[in-house]
Amino acid sequence: MVEQQNNPQPGSGNGQQGSGRGRMKKRRWLKPVVRKVRVLGTGRKESDAQYDSTVGGLKVIHFGGLGEVGRNMSAVQYDNEIVLIDAGVRFPESDEMPGIDFIIPNVEYLADKKEMVKAMFFTHGHLDHIGALPFVRDKIGDPDVYAAPLTRALIMKRLDEFKNLKPLDILQVNAGDEIKVSDHITVKVLRINHSIPDDLAIAIKTPAGTLIHTSDFKFDDTPVNDLPADVDELQKLSDAGVLLLMSDSTGAENEGHSLSEQEITENLDKLIREATGMLILGTFASLINRIQQIITISEKHGRKVVFDGYSMKSNVEICKKLGYLKMRQGTQISMDEIDDYPRDKITAVVTGAQGEDNAVLMRVANGEHRHIHIKKNDTIVFSSSVIPGNERSVQFLKDQLYRNGAKVFNYKMMDIHAGGHGNKEDLRRMIQLVKPRFFMPIHGQYSMMINHGIMAQEEGVPEARIIIADNGSIVHLDKENWWMDKAKAPSDYVFVDGLGIGDIGNVVLRDRQILSEDGFLVIVTLVDGKTGKVRTSPDIISRGFIYLKDHKDLLMQIRKKIRFIVENNDARGKDINATYLKDQLRNQIGLFIFQKTERRPMILPVIIEI
């Protein structure tokens, strides 16, 4: 996101940027930046069309996932029929979005088109692809919903957490299935590799041409707990002609091929074989293939396996039931049984490798877990990469574990984590295989998408046929050209905070940022309604700004300033203008405090007329 500066009046509580001598602050607008779309070459034409159903042909609109990681959701529209792909959440940046639980796609484009939405397909079971369904379900009409078995089970588990929603019938599909959505649209789902089984690429066949959505993917010829990608089916689609390839860009800046899970298996085997004490592996609950590796290797070395963390235990039980996780009878034990076995025969697979405060691994590190207590020479493994923004939390967690005498290993020390996203050579292979007429990078930060587009040029896709779009861009395609409407579909963030969906806006978030940085000051002033004079000394309440008992001189100066502002205002006249007085107090007291402290607390004036 590009930083933009905002400079309202001091003390206004609207996200100021100070320019004080000793302290400068930068605040970001939380509204997505509207960029001028980069046009690669000259093979496009402009359209003045607004987004409405009267403009026919083939359109592609992304409601999230472009220029960001997460919030993946897209629509393919042909005439008056729409197919949706995924509905995922994005997790907030804690410093930027205090109090926000999730960010979800903005589906306002569909508000007057619900009857057009004929089908919805889910690519795989990660939350950045399925997590927003409960929040957008009432806004997308009543389409047929399709998902592979594991994805379907994870969606159903997700929906169980929202008791107010009516039951949803999700139709099961398997790799290789072809679904006739309508007389104009047919969808074929293809097996692709990721870090979770049942990942599907989506091929949408329309009269204008075939579009392929890769999903999150990598090419792995020796996957664990899965079969290799269905390259033959991709080749058949390529031979018939592919109009547009929409391809995962997450690894577009990483050189080489992504690691095979077979390589990870060999390294994990060595680590588990040589581990001392209790072995505790922290990973994502959604990395089902990694969990299977850990189970298999632990069994090989005579270890019992225990799982902890709500999402971890839920996912394990779902996968066991569907046959996606396999283990011998007696391998899995409960937490209550840990002390019944030697420590060096226990493998604990837990959540919290990102340093989350209340997750299992942090509770273990802090000595707050009921059953797992770190002893000298226990072995801790972080078998997942660090999400950007979590570095400090993860470092604190590692330090705590080291303080307890544990041995700590992570993916930087040895290859014990393979991401689910292909690196440059995987992405090149997809382009070479599909040979699309047009190419659209998706699922990644803007720089990733640009580099993916450059890679496509190197693989023979003309520059003029590469589409770099934003969330909300309405991209039209026919057999020869692509173009965008000048108008865009709504693409503002939609925030989920507790039970509220979309009721938290940028102003509220900026206020939260101010409160978290400089606190607030409440000024309660009693004013004589007849004379306009201040009655008694104004009350001042501080939270997160200063400790009142230690700043008596400053408080005395503020009270004098309050009295002066109230008793010398120009708008007093006959009656007290409380609104005007509040504005004056907010601005002038805010400026006065900044001059004295170079801090900008939120000023909340209360005028009581007596």
Which DSSP helix (H) or strand (E) runs through 206? strand 200-206
Q: Which residues contact 491 (CB under 8 A, 6 or more apart)?
A: 32, 63, 106, 470, 471, 472
Active site residue 257: no
Residue 127, number of CB atoms within 10 A of its CB: 19
DSSP track, 229-285: --HHHHHHHHHH--SEEEEE-TTTTS-SPPPPHHHHHHHHHHHHHH--SSEEEE--T
Query: How does 455-489 read in b/e, with b if 16+ C-beta sit within 10 Å?
Result: bbbeeebeeebbbbbbbbbbbbbeeeebbbbeebb
As a residue count, the chain comes to 610
3-state helix, strand, coil in the chain (%, to 5): 30, 25, 45
CA distance 285 to 487: 40
Amino acid at 379: T
Residue 221 bears catalytic tag? no
- Please return the burial class of 50, using the count of CB atoms within 10 Å of its CB with bins 0-12, 13-18 and 19+: exposed
Q: Which tokens is 425 given?
A: 């050579």
Q: Are 409 and 307 in contact (CB under 8 A)?
A: no
Structure tokens belonging to residue 299: 């069994």
The SS3 call for residue 412 is: coil
The single residue of 124, 369, 421, 443 carrying the catalytic annotation is 421
Sheet holding 500-501, edge to edge: 102-104, 494-497, 500-501
3-state secondary structure of 558: helix
Three-state DSSP class for 482?
A: strand
Q: What angle do CA 148, 444, 96 make, to 5 degrees?
A: 110
User: 10 Å Cβ neighbour count for 73?
Assistant: 27
The active-site residue, picked from 79, 86, 230, 248, is: 248
Please give the positions annotated as active site. Answer: 248, 421
